[in-house]
């Protein structure tokens, strides 16, 4: 029979909730099979896990994981197994060659928000010190970057939640805009339930009646891409109905007059016309929110992944500031960060414009500090590079990156206008991918480096609350697999840097502490020992005796004058609106059983069985018009491309909108359709709205025939 042994305290490999879990082992015969166990003491999830977390051990022993490096001898040829020495020599030689022929900035690095702090830090250092390139960015640009820039503008600092998640339960009213935690962070729902049990109200803003929206006291269903118009309409009503907290606005904010002027010119009736949300519902929302003693606005990707995401978040923050709901217990604006280390991954230097500790790479004092820690001359540090989509879009082009080291992302599935990005990746002189599995992107690489998994290496992650936690190694990686830190050390050595790239995570963390010291995201006082003893430590934590900072802004905001800044932002339309050729809105997002590009979760049999493939969600009215029934194939076409997937008919979606999850590559890839229009401040692409045409596949074939007929007729 099987027995289960004690286990190691660790955290889930997936989302930013970083649920605490214990990894034990079942002994079945002579084999030890890793198994996920509950860890009820960890405060954030208190033992609860979603299906992804519960099945997370499966990939550790999966036959589909990589256990040897792969190389391709010629373009178009097959990948074959290689020794580590051969693979690493090929990578180091190739990177050096491109740098020599095309300049250092022709070598690029693309990281991920799932990497530990130690990896993100060392990857940034590797790019700046070993490669000397400005061109490093990461997939977090596609995630919470708009909230990050709005947070910095308003509050002077970017920490997703300025309070522990449990504070949600103590708020009087919470507006959840563009977030679907019922699918994306199920254990977090507990706090929203407790909020309502305590008499607080929940308002959900989402074009779809999601499982989250079903639990709300009020559901507002804007047209995709119109949250900014909605937030302006709500601020107009707050002002018109005298809900402004004048004392708070005077004492703790700046810029109210300009924001007021914009909102007063934006009548609720105009907001209704743009958003489709009736004025009486807006009024109800304002009464609930402004009338509550405390309140929060929490946004996620639905509000943020737009070419105006920064302004939209700014408009939501305005609502908090005008009603005095910020900088006090139970109140504030927060962004629900997404990836496992979505918070820490954006603090320690894998961003194009950034150095560790959330420092700006353009700031001479920041450069001097970090250069000292790194033992280099500040003048040798490159300046800011291209943001993620711009970096990917110029791959293989004149003046663009020609050799790319990619670690922790699968852009062939997850980048906007993905077919174009796949073509760009193919045009590189050298593509190197470090991954656990042969993802769609790894499959295009010249060299694939098999990387260790979460439970096989130790490292810190910073969850959506700003709580730095420790993932402890529970077992050794299989033969043939190395950690990303080992890979960076080996590559650095081959490129002439024997020192400064330790493979021991705790040693890297020690250096990260020093590099971050004095920065905004100050980790100087955080140690592995403290994290173990304290269930995580909240940054900033500047020294060993500092308790950490669960709640920010209680006395002052982190701006130079201590005041939070209103944003004076008028509405503007989405980059692409429906028209006669593409008459519907497409929005995209997630389902509970899969994670991101699906590279990991599609290889977990239980998850693949529960959610086997992509689909197109559409309203019964639209289905009727198109003459399609549940399960029939639909072709969705945008100006970028086409995707085919079965229909899922549901009245939870607006009749003018279709929804696709983005977890699959191939014919049903949602990102064949999406629009890479970028937010000018954050570089965020417009994943959440573009214009499409939808047809039953049979109808589409007939139409194509007719078009061919027309063309032939015209040619005759
Ligand atoms: N199961 C699962 N969980 C995950 C992930 C995953 O891939 N799978 N990924 C993690 C990561 S990295 C992230 S970033 C988070 C994302 O977490 P969420 O932001 O909660 O997830 P999404 O499904 O992308 O988007 C949320 C909602 O936005 C709505 N929406 C679309 N357009 C608009 C709009 O214009 N306005 C408004 N207000 N809403 C709109 C969609 O209908 C959707 O229900 O999830 C994390 N957790
Ligand atoms: N249409 C549409 N597209 C979207 C979104 C959307 O809402 N709609 N959301 C966007 C968002 S918010 C995000 S965060 C991105 C995410 O999209 P991706 O960046 O593609 O994220 P993942 O699928 O998590 O990719 C991580 C890859 O790294 C591997 N990996 C995991 N851990 C490690 C590690 O420690 N080391 C190494 N070397 N590899 C590792 C995994 O196997 C996987 O192949 O997608 C974006 N794309
Ligand atoms: S909610 Fe996120 S962290 Fe928690 S078990 Fe699920 S995927 Fe893992
Ligand atoms: Mo994300």
Any atom of ligand 1 within 6 Å of the Cβ of 302? yes
Q: pLDDT, tens digit, for every residue of 495-509?
A: 999 999 999 999 999
Say if residue 27's pLDDT is above 90: no
Strands (E), 302-451: 332-335, 354-355, 359-360, 403-407, 430-435, 447-450
Q: Determine the average pLDDT of the residues in 240-258.
A: 98
Tokens encoding 108: 């690029």
Say if residue 164's pLDDT is above 60: yes
Say if residue 413's pLDDT is above 50: yes
- Do the Cβ atoms of 693 and 637 come closer than 8 Å? yes
| Nearest CA, atom 36, ligand 2 | 408
Q: pLDDT, tens digit, for every residue of 512-550?
A: 999 999 999 999 999 999 999 999 999 999 999 999 999
Angle, vertex CA 356, rays to CA 151 and CA 111, nearest 5: 85
**DSSP symbol at 472:** P
Query: How far is CA 235 from its chain centroid?
Result: 28
Say if residue 72's pLDDT is above 50: yes
| Nearest CA, atom 38, ligand 1 | 178
Any atom of ligand 2 within 6 Å of the Cβ of 434? yes
Rounded Cα–Cα distance for residues 628 and 618 (Å): 10
DSSP bridge pairs for 81? 70
Any atom of ligand 1 within 6 Å of the Cβ of 594? yes
Q: Determine the average pLDDT of the residues in 311-329.
A: 98
Q: Which ligand is nearest to the CA of 309?
A: 1
- Do the Cβ atoms of 223 and 274 come closer than 8 Å? yes
Ligand 2 mean position, distance from CA 55 (Å): 18
Angle, vertex CA 663, rays to CA 693 and CA 397, nearest 5: 80
Of 133, 147, 126, 129, nearest to 99 by C-alpha is 133
Angle, vertex CA 553, rays to CA 552 and CA 559, nearest 5: 115
The dihedral built from the CA positions of residue 647, 650, 653 and 654, taken in this order, carries a sign that is: positive
- Do the Cβ atoms of 274 and 571 come closer than 8 Å? yes
Ligand 4 mean position, distance from CA 305 (Å): 10
Residues 6 or more apart in contact with residue 98 via CB below 8 angstroms: 106, 107, 402, 403, 429, 430
Query: How far is CA 279 from its chain centroid?
Result: 33
Of 604, 531, 607, 487, nearest to 10 by C-alpha is 531
Q: pLDDT, tens digit, for every residue of 596-636?
A: 999 999 999 999 999 999 999 999 999 999 999 999 999 99
Which of 73-77, 251-255, 388-392, 522-526 is predicted with the least confidence, judged by mean pLDDT? 73-77
Instruction: From 138, 142, 590, give the residue whose CB has the most ligand 2 atoms within 8 Å, as the site to mutate.
Output: 142
Say if residue 1's pLDDT is above 60: no
Ligand 4 mean position, distance from CA 141 (Å): 9
Question: Taking the C-alpha atoms of 477, 481, 482 and 487 in order, what is their torsion angle to the nearest 10 degrees?
Answer: -170
Q: pLDDT, tens digit, for every residue of 587-605?
A: 999 999 999 999 999 999 9
- Do the Cβ atoms of 173 and 288 come closer than 8 Å? yes
pLDDT at residue number 607: 98
Ligand 1 mean position, distance from CA 573 (Å): 21
Any atom of ligand 3 within 6 Å of the Cβ of 44? no
The helix (H) or strand (E) run that includes residue 609 is: helix 605-610
- Please give the C-alpha separations between residue 710 and each of 637, 699, 705, 707, in angstroms, as whole numbers: 20, 16, 9, 5
Ligand 3 mean position, distance from CA 207 (Å): 24
Say if residue 429's pLDDT is above 60: yes
pLDDT at residue number 716: 60
The helix (H) or strand (E) run that includes residue 227 is: helix 227-240
Any atom of ligand 2 within 6 Å of the Cβ of 439? yes
- Angle between helical axes of 364-374 and 505-516 (0-180°, round to 10): 150
Q: pLDDT, tens digit, for every residue of 336-386?
A: 999 999 999 999 999 999 999 999 999 999 999 999 999 999 999 999 999
pLDDT at residue number 4: 56
User: Where does residue 258 rank: exposed (0-12), middle (13-18), buried (19+ CB within 10 A)?
Assistant: middle
pLDDT band at 75, cuts 50/70/90?
Answer: confident
Say if residue 208's pLDDT is above 90: yes
Any atom of ligand 2 within 6 Å of the Cβ of 303? no
Rounded Cα–Cα distance for residues 134 and 156 (Å): 25
Strands 107-111 and 79-81: unpaired
Rounded Cα–Cα distance for residues 157 and 488 (Å): 30
Instruction: From 17, 178, 413, give the residue whose CB has the most ligand 1 atoms within 8 Å, as the site to mutate.
Output: 178
Say if residue 404's pLDDT is above 50: yes
Within 13 Å of residue 446, how many CA atoms lie on the same side as its CB?
24
Rounded Cα–Cα distance for residues 381 and 136 (Å): 13
**DSSP symbol at 684:** -
The residue written with tokens 């047809």 in the block is 695
- Do the Cβ atoms of 231 and 314 come closer than 8 Å? no
Ligand 1 atom closest to the Cα of residue 661 is: 23
Rounded Cα–Cα distance for residues 278 and 27 (Å): 60
DSSP bridge pairs for 365? none
pLDDT at residue number 704: 72
Say if residue 709's pLDDT is above 80: no
Residues 6 or more apart in contact with residue 342 via CB below 8 angstroms: 16, 113, 140, 143, 144, 160, 464
Ligand 4 mean position, distance from CA 18 (Å): 14
pLDDT at residue number 5: 59
Percent of the chain predicted with pLDDT > 70: 98
Q: Determine the average pLDDT of the residues in 277-296.
A: 98
- Do the Cβ atoms of 452 and 477 come closer than 8 Å? yes
Say if residue 701's pLDDT is above 80: no
Phi/psi for 22 (5° steps) reads -120, 135
Instruction: From 60, 70, 114, give the residue whose CB has the most ligand 2 atoms within 8 Å, as the site to mutate.
Output: 114
Alpha-helical segments (H) within 138-222: 145-155, 181-184, 189-197
- Do the Cβ atoms of 545 and 538 come closer than 8 Å? no
Residues 6 or more apart in contact with residue 15 via CB below 8 angstroms: 52, 184, 185, 338, 339, 340, 595
The dihedral built from the CA positions of residue 68, 111, 144 and 455, taken in this order, carries a sign that is: positive
Say if residue 695's pLDDT is above 50: yes
Average pLDDT across the chain, whole number: 96
Of 497, 464, 507, nearest to 335 by C-alpha is 464
User: Where does residue 708 rank: exposed (0-12), middle (13-18), buried (19+ CB within 10 A)?
Assistant: exposed
pLDDT at residue number 702: 67
Any atom of ligand 1 within 6 Å of the Cβ of 586? no
Rounded Cα–Cα distance for residues 716 and 713 (Å): 5
| Nearest CA, atom 14, ligand 2 | 143
Q: pLDDT, tens digit, for every residue of 437-482?
A: 999 999 999 999 999 999 999 999 999 999 999 999 999 999 999 9
Q: pLDDT, tens digit, for every residue of 107-131?
A: 999 999 999 999 999 999 999 999 9
Rounded Cα–Cα distance for residues 572 and 577 (Å): 11
Query: How far is CA 574 from its chain centroid?
Result: 21
Rounded (to 5) percent helix, strand, coil in the chain: 40, 20, 45
pLDDT at residue number 715: 60
Query: How far is CA 595 from its chain centroid?
Result: 11
Within 13 Å of residue 631, how many CA atoms lie on the same side as its CB?
1
Ligand 2 mean position, distance from CA 472 (Å): 22
Say if residue 2's pLDDT is above 60: no
Q: pLDDT, tens digit, for every residue of 568-591?
A: 999 999 999 999 999 999 999 999
Any atom of ligand 2 within 6 Å of the Cβ of 412? no
SS3 335: strand
| Nearest CA, atom 8, ligand 3 | 53
Rounded Cα–Cα distance for residues 529 and 284 (Å): 49
- Do the Cβ atoms of 394 and 102 come closer than 8 Å? no
Q: pLDDT, tens digit, for every residue of 441-451?
A: 999 999 999 99
Percent of the chain predicted with pLDDT > 90: 95
Any atom of ligand 3 within 6 Å of the Cβ of 564? no
- Do the Cβ atoms of 660 and 588 come closer than 8 Å? yes
- Give the total residue count for the chain: 716
Instruction: From 220, 315, 338, give the residue whose CB has the most ligand 1 atoms within 8 Å, as the site to mutate.
Output: 338
Q: Which ligand is nearest to the CA of 46?
A: 3
Say if residue 712's pLDDT is above 80: no
- Do the Cβ atoms of 247 and 204 come closer than 8 Å? no
Strands 690-696 and 633-637: antiparallel
pLDDT at residue number 249: 98
| Nearest CA, atom 2, ligand 3 | 15
Any atom of ligand 1 within 6 Å of the Cβ of 661? no
């Amino acid at each position: 029979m099987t027995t289960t042994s004690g286990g190691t305290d660790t955290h889930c490999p997936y989302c930013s909730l970083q649920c605490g879990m214990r990894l034990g082992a079942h002994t079945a015969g002579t084999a030890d099979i890793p198994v996920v166990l509950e860890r009820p003491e960890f405060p954030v999830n208190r033992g609860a896990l979603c299906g992804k977390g519960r099945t997370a051990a499966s990939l550790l022993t999966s036959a589909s994981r990589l256990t040897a490096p792969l190389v391709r001898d010629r373009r178009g040829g097959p990948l074959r197994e290689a020794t580590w020495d051969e693979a690493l020599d090929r990578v180091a030689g190739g990177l050096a060659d491109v740098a020599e022929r095309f300049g250092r900035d022709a070598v690029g690095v693309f990281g991920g928000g799932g990497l530990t702090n130690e990896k993100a830090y060392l990857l940034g250092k590797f790019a700046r010190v070993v490669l000397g390139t400005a061109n490093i960015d990461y997939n977090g640009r596609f995630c919470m970057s708009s909230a990050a820039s709005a947070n910095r503008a308003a509050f002077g600092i970017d920490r997703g939640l300025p309070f522990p998640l449990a504070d949600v339960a103590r708020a009087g009213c919470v507006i959840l805009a563009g977030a679907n935690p019922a699918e994306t962070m199920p254990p977090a729902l507990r706090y929203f339930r407790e909020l309502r049990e305590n008499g607080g109200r929940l308002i959900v803003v989402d074009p779809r009646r999601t499982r989250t929206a079903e639990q709300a006291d009020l559901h507002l269903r804007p047209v995709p891409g119109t949250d900014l118009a909605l937030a302006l309409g709500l601020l107009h009503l707050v002002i018109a109905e005298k809900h402004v907290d004048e004392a708070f606005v005077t004492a703790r904010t700046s810029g109210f007059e300009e924001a007021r002027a914009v909102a007063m010119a934006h009548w609720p009736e105009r907001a209704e016309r743009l958003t489709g949300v009736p004025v009486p519902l807006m009024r109800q929302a304002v009464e609930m929110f402004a009338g509550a003693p405390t309140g929060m606005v929490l946004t996620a990707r639905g509000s943020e992944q737009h070419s105006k995401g920064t302004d939209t978040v700014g408009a939501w923050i305005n609502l908090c500031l005008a009603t005095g709901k910020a900088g006090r217990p139970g109140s504030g604006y927060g962004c629900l960060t997404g990836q496992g280390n979505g918070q820490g991954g954006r603090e320690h230097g894998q961003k194009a414009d950034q150095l560790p500790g959330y420092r700006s790479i353009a700031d001479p004092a920041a450069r001097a500090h970090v250069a000292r820690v790194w033992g280099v001359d500040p003048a040798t540090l490159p300046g800011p590079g291209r943001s993620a989509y711009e970096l990917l879009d110029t791959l293989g082009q004149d003046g663009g990156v020609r050799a790319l080291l990619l670690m922790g992302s699968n852009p062939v599935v997850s980048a906007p206008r993905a077919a174009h990005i796949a073509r760009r990746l193919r045009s590189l002189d050298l593509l190197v991918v470090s991954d656990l599995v042969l993802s769609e992107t790894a499959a295009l690489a010249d060299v694939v480096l098999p990387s260790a998994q979460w439970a096989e290496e130790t490292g810190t992650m910073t969850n959506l609350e700003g709580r730095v936690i420790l993932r402890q190694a529970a077992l050794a990686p299989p033969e043939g697999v190395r950690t990303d830190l080992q890979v960076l050390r080996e590559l650095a050595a081959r490129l002439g840097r024997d020192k400064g790239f330790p493979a021991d995570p705790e040693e890297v963390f020690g250096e990260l502490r020093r590099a971050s010291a004095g920065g905004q995201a100050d980790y100087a006082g955080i140690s592995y020992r403290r994290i173990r003893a304290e269930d995580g430590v909240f940054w900033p934590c500047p020294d060993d005796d500092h308790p950490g900072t669960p709640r920010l802004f209680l006395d002052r905001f982190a701006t130079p004058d201590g005041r939070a800044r209103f944003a004076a932002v008028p509405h503007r339309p989405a980059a692409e609106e429906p028209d006669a050729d593409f008459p519907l809105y497409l929005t995209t997002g997630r389902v509970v059983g899969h994670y991101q590009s699906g590279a990991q979760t599609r290889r977990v049999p239980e998850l693949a069985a529960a959610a086997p493939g992509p689909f197109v969600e559409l309203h019964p009215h639209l289905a009727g018009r198109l003459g399609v029934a549940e399960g029939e194939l639909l072709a969705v076409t945008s100006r970028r491309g086409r995707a085919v997937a079965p229909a899922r008919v549901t009245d939870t979606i607006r009749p003018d909108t279709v929804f696709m999850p983005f977890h699959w590559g191939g014919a049903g890839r949602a990102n064949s359709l999406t629009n890479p229009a970028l937010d000018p401040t954050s570089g965020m692409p417009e994943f959440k709205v573009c214009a499409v045409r939808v047809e039953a596949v049979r109808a589409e074939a007939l139409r194509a025939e007719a078009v061919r007929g027309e063309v032939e007729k015209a040619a005759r």
